[in-house]
Amino acid sequence: MAKLLMKGNDAIVRGALLAGCRLYFGYPITPASEIAEGAAAYFPKVGGTFLQAESEVAAINMLYGAASGGVRAMTASSSPGISLKMEGVSYAAGAELPCVIVNIMRGGPGLGNIAPEQADYNQVVKGGGHGNYKLPVLAPNSVQEMCNLTMKAFDIADKYRTPVFILADGYIGQMMEPVEFPEPVMHIDRKDWALYADAESKHNLISSIFLDPEELEEHNRKLQKKYALIEQNEIRFETFMCDDAEHLLIGYGIVSRILKTAVEKLRSEGVKIGMIRPVSLFPFPKAIIAELAGKVKNILVVELSNGQMVDDVRLATEFKTPIHFFNRMGGVVPATEEIIEQVKLQLLR
């Protein structure tokens, strides 16, 4: 199929519909409103439903209800809205409901601003709500990935019976790039645990309550096993010019795009530098980072946050390689030149 020039937020809506998602529940918030607007325009066109909820809390609970029905459904919001949703996310994780939640991150804390930040890493990647849970988190860095990873998110959600997060930022959401659209998913398997409002499924119970401590412990152990399996199977990353690299850059989302350009420019100056970008944030690509860390002299982690992913890099490398950090916050996105300057300052001294 020919490529189409499209915004990242629009590609999410198309990707969801191509994946067979037919229900969208959301509350408007900048900079994620385009996803709701796109969903309002396109979901009804293919027999789906878009519903603007009265609150973020209602939206996530509508999603909980729809997911209980075994259908593919989603919601999207931005950082403060995600904070509100966390109650429902915890319940969905506990009740093991597959669904997709998109977070187009913005500046915080509090009302912050609407510029791009990556300050929700801890909130989203480490669980966020109450209880012992984690969710798969995919971080696209291009418009094509906004489509493809959204589709992939639905597959992962169904495969493991879990909510899945798409963690992106305003830049990827607002920018246009050519997209090649995959074929639509036409069949979604019936789920033996879900409620289809028929005799066959009526004995199913969707619940996260386990009164007996031992039962709840058992449930938690089952969840942890699931996360271990996800860590085994669902690690995604991209490496760039790492083969002979002596220095390594690490960043995800929009940052990885800037790092790539920085690597190209530094390489043209003869600096042996490479980049790795985690595509899945949980599961975090620990093994490859540890492997590359063993080969390079030092590492620079770049984030649009106070340093959240960098902790996972430190754990992955077990502090064996010097790890440097550079960040911007509040919605400031560094220019390539700024990264190059930091590389020279921190890695090449």
Partner 1 sequence: MATKILKKPETFYERYERNPSADKKMPHYCPGCGHGNVHKMMAEALEDFEVDDRTILISPVGCSVFAYYYFDTGNIQAAHGRAPAVATGIKRAHPESIVISYQGDGDLAAIGTAEILHAANRGENITVFFVNNAIYGMTGGQMAPTTIVGQKTTTTPYGRQPSNEGYPVKVAELISQLDAPVYVERVSLMDNKHRAKARQAIRKAIKNQVDNLGFSLVEILSPCPSGWKLDPVDSLKWIEEYMIPNFPLGVYRDKTKEVQPYSFTRFEPDEEEIKKQLGITRETEKTFPKQEVPQRYQNPEIKVAGFGGQGILLLGAAIAQAGMLENYHVSWLPSYGPEMRGGTANCHVQVRETEVGAPMVSNPTVLIAMNRPSLEKFENDVQQGGIIMYDNSLIDVDPGRKDVEILPVPATKMADELGNTRIANMIALGALMGYTGLMSRETLYESLHAAIKRKRFLEINRKAIDKGYEFGQSKRV
Binding to partner 1, residues 37-56 (CB under 8 A): 42, 45-47, 49, 51, 53-55
Q: 110, 240 in Cβ contact below 8 A?
A: no
C-alpha 2 chain-centroid distance: 27
C-alpha 307 chain-centroid distance: 17
- The least distance separating partner 1 from the CB of residue 80, rounded to whole angstroms, comes to 15
Q: Binding to partner 1 (CB under 8 A): which residues in 242-271?
A: 257-262, 264
Closer residue to partner 1 in complex, CB, 125/263 = 263
* Count of residues touching partner 1 (by CB under 8 A): 83
Q: Which of 12, 19, 63, 138 binds partner 1 (CB under 8 A)?
A: 63
Contact characters 12-31, partner 1, x per CB under 8 A: --x--xx----x-x----xx
Q: Binding to partner 1 (CB under 8 A): which residues in 151-180?
A: 170-171, 174-178
- H or E segment to which residue 266 belongs: helix 254-268
- Across the beta sheet with 247-250, the strand order is 237-240, 273-278, 247-250, 298-303, 323-327
Q: Which of 40, 84, 188, 206 binds partner 1 (CB under 8 A)?
A: 206
Task: Centre a 10 Å sphere on the Cβ of residue 72 and count the other Cβ atoms it contains.
Answer: 24
Cα(138)–Cα(8) distance, integer angstroms: 14
Tokens at residue 253, please?
A: 């989302």
Phi, psi angle pair for 277, to nearest 5°: -125, 125
Q: 167, 137 in Cβ contact below 8 A?
A: yes
Q: Binding to partner 1 (CB under 8 A): which residues in 184-203?
A: 184, 186, 195-199, 201-203
Q: Binding to partner 1 (CB under 8 A): which residues in 293-312?
A: none
- The least distance separating partner 1 from the CB of residue 197, rounded to whole angstroms, comes to 3
Contact characters 72-111, partner 1, x per CB under 8 A: -x-------------xx--x---x----------------
